[in-house]
Amino acid sequence: MHRLRTALALGATAALFLAACGGSDDDDAAGGSTPTGSRGSAVSAERCAQNEAAGRVTYVTGFQYQASASILDPIAARALGYFDDVCLDVEIQPGTGETAQNAQLVAAGTAQVSSIAGNGDVLVNVANGVDVKAVAMFGHVPVATLMTKPDITDLKQLEGTTLGQKGALPVTIEAMLRAKGVDLSKVKQVVVGYDPSVLVRGQVQSLTGYKSNEPLTLAAMGEEVTEWNPEDYGVPGSIATTIVNPAFLADHRTAVEDFLRAQLKAYAYCEDHAEECVADAAELSQAGYDTDHNVEVWRTETGLVDGSLPAGQVLGQIDEAPVRTEGDFLVQMRQIPAVPDLGEVVVPDLVPSLYSGGELVWPVP
């Protein structure tokens, strides 16, 4: 039901990867990889013209330039020349981690495409009147985890102790605790920063975090922690949903298709060349980028993504059924009043159209 994580040979880091700004083409064009092909080499002249008609496509990352799924792969797609191969002019801007801000930027047309934490964040924003469409999803598992020292063997032991969180208890963690019968009124919650050593120093007895971040930092310190994961208790979740501006999708569907096509091609490349892709992301960050840690972030997240891909589906595919499952869960947890009309929110046919026989189509016929 839970996993005891042992030490990994990682580079220690803080959870934040420090601010970095967008900028000119030269500023946000990642280096370190040699672009392949030439302008329009992967599309016909007609499709090239359609994509160029879309103008500059602004993509906002989920959080800075960290090596997460749906962040590192678009960065690599640009560095490798894949966007150029399909005649797309892509500007990459770093997000702050505020999912509502990303959704609002896309809805307003300030950005055309963005990564957002998961389906639940899409549904909360849509329920709040933000008009975006979800076109892709990478992981079918919650990314949040609750860490304790190994002496905690039952979550009920957390009653009478202190839990550290980042400003709010993640709804998936709350659901897990309630499923195990924990009386949350007996758990003192405090807001802590992004230094997970507060757990091993005993300042808190449990700590919320992300599977691809804090446990890696603690392992690098030689500390053993137990990860309590919501999916082990039947709690649904997702990782890395891609949202687009509905008007942009309607006017420039080929551009959206080929953005995702290039991203998915880069994802496969980065699975085999993690260090190279992370080096591209590091060049975009102004300072303080922990390359070793980010390599492990990428490997951890791709492991979560690949390991949770449903049989018979292709990478990136989004369907209404799992989104509805998360929506029903959010209603149950009183996060949204009702599940929005998913026919107006989810575009399930887009990603499958990029594949043939389970293989990504590249170049485009």
All domains of the chain, ordered by start, with CATH?
Answer: 3-10+143-233 (3.40.190.10), 31-141+237-360 (3.40.190.10)
pLDDT for 286: 74
244-295 pLDDT, tens per residue? 999 999 999 999 999 999 999 999 999 999 999 999 999 999 778 999 999 9
Average pLDDT rounded to a whole number, residues 307-335:
96
- Residue 295's region, left for phi above 0, alpha for psi from -120 to 50, else beta, is alpha
Average pLDDT rounded to a whole number, residues 173-190:
97
For residue 157, pLDDT over 60 is answered with yes
User: What mean pLDDT value characterizes the chain?
Assistant: 90
Cα 2 to Cα 292: distance, rounded to the nearest angstrom: 26
pLDDT for 288: 87
Cα 30 to Cα 25: distance, rounded to the nearest angstrom: 10
With CA atoms as reference, report the closest residue to 87 among 225, 254, 324: 254
pTM over 0.85: yes
For residue 58, pLDDT over 70 is answered with yes
For residue 24, pLDDT over 80 is answered with no
pLDDT for 21: 32
For residue 25, pLDDT over 80 is answered with no
For residue 59, pLDDT over 80 is answered with yes
pLDDT for 258: 98
Cα 28 to Cα 292: distance, rounded to the nearest angstrom: 21
> In the structure, what pLDDT confidence band is assigned to residue 219 with cuts at 50, 70 and 90?
very high
pLDDT for 244: 98
pLDDT for 75: 98
For residue 113, pLDDT over 70 is answered with yes
pLDDT for 193: 85
DSSP 35-51: --S-TTTTS-HHHHHHH
Strand partners, 64: none
For residue 2, pLDDT over 80 is answered with no
Evaluate the CA torsion angle 37, 39, 45, 49 in order and state its sign.
Answer: positive
Average pLDDT rounded to a whole number, residues 47-55:
98
pLDDT for 36: 59
CA distances in angstroms from 89 to 71, 85, 132, 157, 272, listed in the order given = 17, 10, 21, 54, 26
